[in-house]
Chain A
Amino acid sequence: MWVEKYRPKSVEDMVGNEDSRIGFLNWLKEWRMGSKPALLIGAPGTGKTTLVHLTANRLGLNIIELNASDVRTKERMERKLGPMLDSQGLFNERPLIFLDEVDGMYDRQDRGGVEFVEELMERSPAPIVMAANVEDDKKITKLIRKSRVFRFRRLPPRFMEIYIEDIIKKEKVRFGKEAIRILVKEAKGDMRAAINSAQSLAGLSAEELRSVISSRDQSYSLREGLESFFNAKSKEKAYEALRSCDATPRDKVRLAYTSIINGNLSNDELIEALEGLGDADEIIRRIERTQEWRILRYFDRVLAYSLFKALPKGRVSYNEDDMPWDLKLRMWNESRALRDASKSLSKFLHASSREIMSVFMSYLLFILSKDKESMERFVTLLGLEGSVLKVLMKEADRVVSRV
């Protein structure tokens, strides 16, 4: 792997993001117990992981690393980090805790992982360094507030070209300047991607490289794929667009569904499209159930042809919402209030909250709607929040209006 072979050997060999590199080195030199942890944010291939390793080496720190390939539940992390946390001073080596790809910590698989990190930040006897790709994630914004943040911009093409040219020279392969320029542009500031494609594409002419890259472009993202699917001029084009979507069949159906539901369609068109969708959805579930994956080859055609026939061009565009936002918000509020209420009612009425929703709630709200006072008493009796009262009153109004 060229990526490993040509990973910079010292901080000085790295390119781009000089401020952050110097800032990080100083932060680590000055770190003492109680200091904030460091959070490196930036696109992939901009040198975050490399910087952490090189800096730690220079200062003689021993890296304990947890990245996305480890399962990061609370227990696992405690097991790995625990001995280090407890045995401070027993060993002479100074540790550095490196949590790579913290934005990849998902609530379900890495249960309690984020909480553990937050807890660790408070009491860690060793410096903590975290790295993330995006910062608009909720978990990350929380971490940003508590950390010293270093940002990594995408690397400028000129730096990358020099770096790649150097590798090409050392590897003694033939690769023209123009080809390198195309390849670097394609990598969009990601050094790792650039080196990887250099290794796999070295020797190609600029001309050949262009055609390789353009054919690679045809693997659409789901969004682009569905857009061109909905606008396809022939049923074969529609099938092509759907087939080259880089997404699971399940996601294709789900997003085709939300797009169609929001589309500007007549009832008849909707009916036909939904029938096609229903069929395709059934195929997936059957495949999953029977594990007969070879049936999958029919899936894209079934979905593409039936929808192509049903949908007039240009009336549907990509949409991820299964209902308008105001409706969604209203339903979310109501369902939370009603769920809270029925949970508290459960012990008084000897019924499950589900039964209470189906057998009691409407009647109860109707009976209580006669006067506001008894509704208020009811809400306090159940120990519910004031906001619930409002929703229940509104829901009661709706029940009454139907009578």
Chain B
Amino acid sequence: MWTEKYRPLRLEDLVNQRDIVERLKSMLNSPNEMPHLLFAGPPGTGKTTVALCIARSILRDYWRDYTLELNASDERGINTVRDRVKTFARYIDKRTGIPFRIIILDEADEMTGDAQTALRRIMEESSRICRFILICNYSSGIIEPIQSRCAIFRFSRLEKEDIVNYLKKICEHEKVKYSDKALSLIHELAEGDLRLAINILQSSSALGEVSVENVKKISGMSGKAKVGEMVNMALEGRFKEARERLLELMRVYGMSERDVIKYANEEVFKLNLPNLDEVAEALARYDYRLIVGAHPDIQLTAMIAELGRIGKGASTSTTKKKESS
């Protein structure tokens, strides 16, 4: 994958995020004093990359052995996290001259409050030997006590110019034909997410060249686009198809019910609907129900059904409008 091939290895090579790089660099001058770190920001803005750069820079040749990467969503519970940290945080071979081990915990904001409280204990217990780099999308999802123990870095969405230039560099290196228009379309689709942008780039280059036409073809592949497709089916009253798509997204692709609604919400605003207010209200209502802990299958199926009714109302009202005009 090009995302790995072109992942920057040194902080200097990072795309934008200049403040963060500066602050980190000065911190790395005396690595022994480095606190725990908390990286917050949207996907594809370099959080994991920076964490890996720091690991490489501090742990040098030993970085693979002395870094532990954990994903909150993949570890089955705080107890497995504790076990893995415990075995990992045992000792440091003095001959390496390394100050500490590094634990990168991704998606930390997905952890429940209780789990985070336990995590805080784990951080304290192992702080003699380990430094944590916590990664999350929203720092508000992290409990106060952990925030106060970390130096917080906020990553911002990448600018169009940065993304386009980076994509250009890749194209030239891979000797792929591209058009500027195609690259800015990729930027639009990726919404500041460099990782997604590179994935779209590589996929469209697999079609021969990076042209607007090919990028458009690829754009339908994202999970978001698939949810958009589902919403469309629902609005057109193709209930059975929409539900099958929904089940596929959730059961096969493991999309969470919250993500389905989140993406649906983003997609409906692009659709230019006459009764957007009703749609938005319906989405909000079902989102709320999911928060209360309602049955995801039942609620989302009901949501599809309701979208069907709203869609029907919309088509009759537009025909009415046409008739009256």
- Is B one of A's binding partners? yes
A interface residue numbers (CB < 8 A to B): 253-254, 257, 261, 267-268, 270-271, 274-275, 277-278, 281-282, 285-286, 288-289, 322-323, 327, 331-332, 334-335, 338-339, 343, 346-355, 357-364, 366-367, 370, 399, 402-403
- B222 (CB) vs chain A CBs: closest residue: A362
A-B contact pairs, 22 of them (CB 8 A): A261-B301, A267-B308, A271-B309, A274-B305, A275-B302, A275-B306, A278-B286, A278-B299, A285-B295, A331-B247, A335-B253, A346-B71, A349-B4, A350-B7, A353-B71, A357-B254, A358-B255, A359-B199, A362-B222, A363-B203, A366-B218, A399-B221
B52 interface residue (CB < 8 Å to A): yes
In the complex, chain B residues 247-279 whose Cβ is within 8 Å of any chain A Cβ? 247-248, 251-256, 259
A402 to B228, CA, bound (A): 14
- A284 (CB) vs chain B CBs: closest residue: B294
B residues near A364, Cβ cutoff 8 Å: 1
Q: Is the CB of A366 within 8 A of B252?
A: no
Q: Is the CB of B221 within 8 A of A362?
A: yes
A residues near B251, Cβ cutoff 8 Å: 331-332, 335
A contact patch SS? helix
B106 interface residue (CB < 8 Å to A): yes
- B104 (CB) vs chain A CBs: closest residue: A350
A327 to B245, CA, bound (A): 11
In the complex, chain B residues 1-29 whose Cβ is within 8 Å of any chain A Cβ? 1, 3-4, 7
Residue among A274, A331, A350 making CB contact with B252, cutoff 8 Å: A331
A399 to B203, CA, bound (A): 11
B297 interface residue (CB < 8 Å to A): yes
- A338 (CB) vs chain B CBs: closest residue: B252
B45 interface residue (CB < 8 Å to A): no
A353 to B255, CA, bound (A): 11
A347 to B69, CA, bound (A): 8
Q: Is the CB of B305 within 8 A of A275?
A: yes
Q: Is the CB of B202 within 8 A of A363?
A: yes
Q: Name the distance in Å between A141's Cβ and chain B's nearest Cβ.
A: 28
B residues near A339, Cβ cutoff 8 Å: 254
B contact patch SS? helix
A355 to B286, CA, bound (A): 24
A277 to B309, CA, bound (A): 16
A residues near B253, Cβ cutoff 8 Å: 335, 338, 357-358, 361
Q: Name the distance in Å between A186's Cβ and chain B's nearest Cβ.
A: 37
User: With contacts A350-B52, A367-B203, A402-B220 known, what are 8 further pairs, Cβ within 8 A?
Assistant: A253-B295, A257-B295, A278-B294, A349-B4, A351-B106, A352-B72, A354-B107, A403-B207
Give the number of residues in B that approach A within 8 Å (Cβ atoms). 57
Given the contacts A267-B308, A360-B1, A366-B221, A352 and B74 also touching, CB distance less than 8 Å: yes
Q: Name the distance in Å between B288's Cβ and chain A's nearest Cβ.
A: 9
A338 to B225, CA, bound (A): 19
B residues near A327, Cβ cutoff 8 Å: 244, 247
Q: Is the CB of A363 within 8 A of B221?
A: yes
B177 interface residue (CB < 8 Å to A): no
- A336 (CB) vs chain B CBs: closest residue: B252
Number of A-B contacts (CB under 8 A): 155
A residues near B309, Cβ cutoff 8 Å: 268, 271
A353 to B110, CA, bound (A): 14
Residue among A271, A278, A352 making CB contact with B107, cutoff 8 Å: A352
- B198 (CB) vs chain A CBs: closest residue: A363
B residues near A275, Cβ cutoff 8 Å: 302, 305-306
Given the contacts A281-B298, A285-B292, A354 and B73 also touching, CB distance less than 8 Å: yes
A residues near B239, Cβ cutoff 8 Å: 267, 270-271
Q: Name the distance in Å between B281's Cβ and chain A's nearest Cβ.
A: 14
Residue among A277, A278, A360 making CB contact with B199, cutoff 8 Å: A360
B157 interface residue (CB < 8 Å to A): no
A residues near B202, Cβ cutoff 8 Å: 363, 367
- Residue interface mask B51-82, A partner, CB < 8 A = 1: 01000000000000000010111100000000
- B75 (CB) vs chain A CBs: closest residue: A352
Q: Is the CB of B217 within 8 A of A403?
A: yes
Q: Is the CB of A286 within 8 A of B292?
A: yes
B192 interface residue (CB < 8 Å to A): no
Residue among A257, A261, A289, A352 making CB contact with B73, cutoff 8 Å: A352
Q: Is the CB of B293 within 8 A of A403?
A: no
A residues near B217, Cβ cutoff 8 Å: 403
- A331 (CB) vs chain B CBs: closest residue: B251
A residues near B220, Cβ cutoff 8 Å: 402-403
A285 to B286, CA, bound (A): 13
B residues near A268, Cβ cutoff 8 Å: 309
A379 to B4, CA, bound (A): 18
Q: Is the CB of A334 within 8 A of B252?
A: yes
B168 interface residue (CB < 8 Å to A): no
A residues near B294, Cβ cutoff 8 Å: 278, 281-282, 285
A332 to B73, CA, bound (A): 20
Of residues B200, B255, B294, which shows the largest number of chain A Cβ atoms within 10 Å of its Cβ? B294
A residues near B149, Cβ cutoff 8 Å: none
B118 interface residue (CB < 8 Å to A): no
A359 to B221, CA, bound (A): 10
Residue among B52, B221, B252, B305 making CB contact with A271, cutoff 8 Å: B305
- A368 (CB) vs chain B CBs: closest residue: B206
Q: Name the distance in Å between B43's Cβ and chain A's nearest Cβ.
A: 7
Q: Name the distance in Å between B205's Cβ and chain A's nearest Cβ.
A: 9
Q: Is the CB of B221 within 8 A of A348?
A: no
B195 interface residue (CB < 8 Å to A): yes
B31 interface residue (CB < 8 Å to A): no
Q: Is the CB of B297 within 8 A of A402?
A: no
Residue among A281, A352, A367 making CB contact with B106, cutoff 8 Å: A352
A233 to B72, CA, bound (A): 52
Given the contacts A285-B293, A357-B253, A257 and B298 also touching, CB distance less than 8 Å: yes
Residue among A289, A352, A363, A370 making CB contact with B71, cutoff 8 Å: A352
A104 to B289, CA, bound (A): 34
A residues near B52, Cβ cutoff 8 Å: 350
Q: Is the CB of A402 within 8 A of B221?
A: yes
CB-based closest 5 A-B pairs: A352-B71, A278-B302, A271-B305, A274-B302, A363-B199
B residues near A289, Cβ cutoff 8 Å: 292-293
Residue among A270, A281, A335 making CB contact with B305, cutoff 8 Å: A270
B116 interface residue (CB < 8 Å to A): no
Q: Name the distance in Å between A272's Cβ and chain B's nearest Cβ.
A: 8
Given the contacts A281-B295, A282-B292, A335-B252, A363 and B305 also touching, CB distance less than 8 Å: no
